[in-house]
Amino acid sequence: MSEAFKHGYALLIGVGESAYKPLSLPVTVKDTQAIYAALIDSELCAYLDDQEHIRVLNNAEATRNAIFDGLNWLKEKAEADQEATIFVYYSGHGWVDKNDNCYYLLQHDVKPTKLESSALSAKDFTDALRQIQAERLLVVIDSCHAAGMASSKDADAIAKADAELFEDFEDFKRVAPSKGLIEALKEGKGRVVFTSSEGEQKSWIKDDSISVYTYHFLEALQGAANQPGDKVVKVSNLMNYLGKTVPETVRKLYNKEQIPHFDMDAGDFAIALLRGGKGLPDKGWEEVKSEADRKINKIADVINQQGKYITNINEARDMHIGDVIHKD
């Protein structure tokens, strides 16, 4: 019988459909829903499947106020549970103002003519994270998606779409969070920050259903970097696997560079159970790799079939991923 990761709390943010249509990134919603599906699977990460442990903000729900409400919810959870493990995942645009180097996350309700005042500034995001007094907190920022990348794998087409988009935002450029911002984000005890790329590198998709980064993240959650006998997936397991596989896959698919960045000098900790707490079998990852790939493909299939209708946690509960069907 599987165990449960009872002290795990997650906030997953996929901006997806932007109120300003040219900024929409449908693949970000597919990414957050795929991670959500893996987290709540009792045979995988085994987070408790209720809004007291995991919340998803996608598309029109990923507003500035809703993100702050979600971070405040995590603050309250950490105050009530001294053993809390907090996981924050943001997938969407991340831009920097060329004039003052201020960084912004572009949530759903951003106003393009008032971007500086309407977007979620890194300062405000960091201040809210600092209020979460958990000793185990992982923040993942996947914020360098290329324009139009959810509908095309052609690098030239993506570059053209990018150029057209940034004609309207000449004071901004797309970059990953800087080292200074990462330092600010991880300020405090037990804080770890991952970004999907470095500098002006793009965050690429594997196919129309999932990004390269999320695909390998899901593999790592199933034990790709673990050893036989391990019962949990730690931050270091994620880091080691993503650091190796993401660059390899992007080079193979696009002949481009995407180097994930990790800052975890605060220490290692478990972020999920491994295969429902059963751990890897004696032969390790190679024995379960084909099964893991099938589960990821199953998640992708369900997201492709239902993706445009799935907007929140309640609507995602009928996904069949592993050996169980998630229902209310």
Q: Which residues of 198-209 are buried (b: 16+ CB within 10 A; e: fewer)?
A: beebbbbbbebb
* pLDDT of res. 319: 45
Write out residues in the chain with pLDDT < 70, as ranges: 1-2, 146-155, 157-159, 161-162, 164, 265-266, 302-328
Quote the CA–CA distance of 93 and 108 in Å, as a whole number: 10
* pLDDT of res. 304: 62
* pLDDT of res. 308: 41
* pLDDT of res. 309: 34
CATH fold of 8-316 reads Rossmann fold (3.40.50)
Per-residue model confidence as pLDDT tens digits over 78-128: 999 999 999 999 999 998 988 898 999 999 999 988 988 999 999 999 999
172 and 105 Cβ atoms separated by less than 8 Å: no
Per-residue model confidence as pLDDT tens digits over 220-251: 999 999 999 999 999 999 999 999 999 999 99
* pLDDT of res. 209: 73
- Report pTM: 0.89
Domain coordinates of the chain in residue numbers? 8-316
* pLDDT of res. 139: 95
* pLDDT of res. 305: 58
